[in-house]
């Protein structure tokens, strides 16, 4: 039975700018969880610092907002402690590709069973639009009136080079497709990475709804080889959206751990067997 989206709402009103892609992403997350029948108290979403991170107090799930670039390790630790909870990490392109770049690569390599949602608005938006690694080469920015001097990082190419078990690309202008992508990502057993092309009308005006509409094309089904997937994400004239690549043969981190193979309990329960009060004394 799907859970109504209203169950994931709380009384806090969003403060994103008019036309911000975060509204649609936020609704698609709630819709996906509801349609998968994953209750608010069975969900943990870790949030980063930034405009995307400002969704933390606007959703009725277990939410944790950490330091900039660190939402992925928070999600990993939580998942390792309790596999019964569905864990998602949301993060901006800045936090993901600058402050916390290492975490993305290691999460994919270890194939932890979490879902990572990268809000790619191609700028550090909360701090007023500085260029990030995804800002296109040559693009004029608030702090770079002569254009961005360095080459950009293509998130799809980076993720695929780490041999992921799931990579998809969605668009904040298509919340229905985004919901379907989120559902597939959450259901996937392993580390699912979703790059969300996110509109930011305040600091990335050129990448407007019209700009995306001219370029976006939906993929009917995932590519069969990682090389085809790479060619697809590197296309300049078109932006392909959908589930781009999956590999269900890669075992998850827990599936590889011999000493946890037959365990029926979670670390969060097992730790309760130990008296840590003496240890805590040291922090008083
Ligand atoms: C370690 C650290 N570096 C820099 C900052 C300043 N800072 C806060 S939000 C932000 C921009 C975030 O950009 P992004 O992660 O792309 O998220 P967006 O705001 O675009 O959603 C920056 C640079 C910080 N809080 N902590
Ligand atoms: S600055 Fe950009 S990303 Fe941030 S709330 Fe405004 S439109 Fe959204
Ligand atoms: Mg950003």
The DSSP bridge partners found for residue 240 are: 217
The atom of ligand 2 lying closest to the CA of 51 is 4
What pLDDT is attached to residue 261? 83
114 SS3 class: coil
What pLDDT is attached to residue 278? 87
Shortest-distance ligand to the CA of residue 65 = 1
What is the average pLDDT score of the chain? Answer: 96
93 lines ligand 1 (CB under 6 A): yes
The atom of ligand 2 lying closest to the CA of 121 is 3
Residues of the chain above pLDDT 70, percent: 100
**Cα–Cα distance for residue pair 166/160, rounded to 1 Å:** 9
The atom of ligand 2 lying closest to the CA of 119 is 3
How confident is residue 279, by pLDDT bands cut at 50, 70 and 90?
confident
**Cα–Cα distance for residue pair 2/36, rounded to 1 Å:** 6
Among 21, 23, 26, 49, which is best to mutate for testing ligand 1, by the most ligand atoms less than 8 A from CB? Answer: 49
The atom of ligand 1 lying closest to the CA of 52 is 21
**Cα–Cα distance for residue pair 107/94, rounded to 1 Å:** 17
**Cα–Cα distance for residue pair 260/244, rounded to 1 Å:** 32
Cα 131 to ligand 1 centroid, rounded to whole Å: 11
Task: Give pLDDT tens digits for 49-64.
Answer: 999 999 999 999 999 9
Task: Give pLDDT tens digits for 95-148.
Answer: 999 999 999 999 999 999 999 999 999 999 999 999 999 999 999 988 899 999
Cα 120 to ligand 3 centroid, rounded to whole Å: 6
Among 46, 70, 126, which is best to mutate for testing ligand 1, by the most ligand atoms less than 8 A from CB? Answer: 126
Helix (H) or strand (E) holding 243: strand 239-246
**Cα–Cα distance for residue pair 31/2, rounded to 1 Å:** 9
Average pLDDT over residues 200-229: 95
Domains of the chain by start residue, with CATH: 5-254 (3.40.50.970)
CB burial string 129-161: b at 16+ within 10 A, e below: bebbbbbbeebebeeeeeebeeebbbbbebbbe
How confident is residue 262, by pLDDT bands cut at 50, 70 and 90?
confident
The atom of ligand 2 lying closest to the CA of 54 is 5
pLDDT at 284 over 90: no
Cα 49 to ligand 2 centroid, rounded to whole Å: 13
E-strand ranges in 4-146 read 43-47, 62-65, 86-92, 115-120
96 lines ligand 2 (CB under 6 A): no
**pTM, to two decimals:** 0.96
26 lines ligand 1 (CB under 6 A): no
* 27-to-21, 34, 114, 179 alpha-carbon distances in Å: 10, 11, 19, 8
What pLDDT is attached to residue 143? 82
16 lines ligand 2 (CB under 6 A): yes
Around ion ligand 3, which residues have CB less than 5 A away? 92-94, 121, 125
DSSP symbol at 88: E
């Amino acid at each position: 039975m799907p859970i109504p989206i209203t169950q994931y709402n709380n009384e806090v009103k969003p403060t994103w700018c008019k036309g911000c892609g975060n509204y649609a992403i936020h609704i698609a997350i709630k819709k996906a969880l509801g349609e998968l029948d994953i209750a608010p108290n069975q969900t943990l979403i870790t949030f980063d610092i930034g405009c995307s991170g400002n969704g933390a107090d606007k959703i009725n799930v277990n939410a944790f907002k950490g330091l900039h670039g660190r939402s992925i390790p928070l999600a990993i630790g939580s998942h390792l402690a309790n596999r019964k909870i569905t864990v998602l990490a949301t993060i901006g392109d800045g936090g993901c590709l600058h402050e916390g770049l290492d975490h993305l690569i290691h999460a994919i390599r270890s194939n932890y069973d979490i879902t990572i949602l990268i809000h790619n608005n191609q700028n550090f938006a909360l701090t007023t639009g500085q260029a990030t690694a995804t800002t296109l080469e040559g693009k004029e920015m608030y702090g770079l009136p002569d254009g961005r001097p360095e080459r950009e990082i293509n998130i799809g190419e980076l993720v695929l080079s780490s041999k992921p078990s799931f990579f998809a690309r969605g668009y904040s202008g298509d919340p229905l497709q985004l919901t379907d992508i989120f559902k597939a990502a959450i259901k996937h057993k392993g580390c699912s990475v979703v790059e969300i092309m996110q509109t930011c009308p305040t600091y990335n005006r050129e990448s407007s709804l019209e700009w995306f509409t001219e370029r976006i094309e939906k993929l009917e089904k995932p590519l069969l080889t990682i090389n085809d997937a790479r060619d697809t994400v590197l296309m300049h004239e078109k932006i392909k959206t959908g589930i781009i690549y999956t590999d269900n043969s890669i075992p998850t981190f827990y599936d590889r751990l011999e000493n946890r193979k037959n365990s029926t309990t979670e670390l969060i329960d097992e730790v309760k067997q130990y008296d840590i009060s003496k240890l805590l004394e040291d922090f008083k």
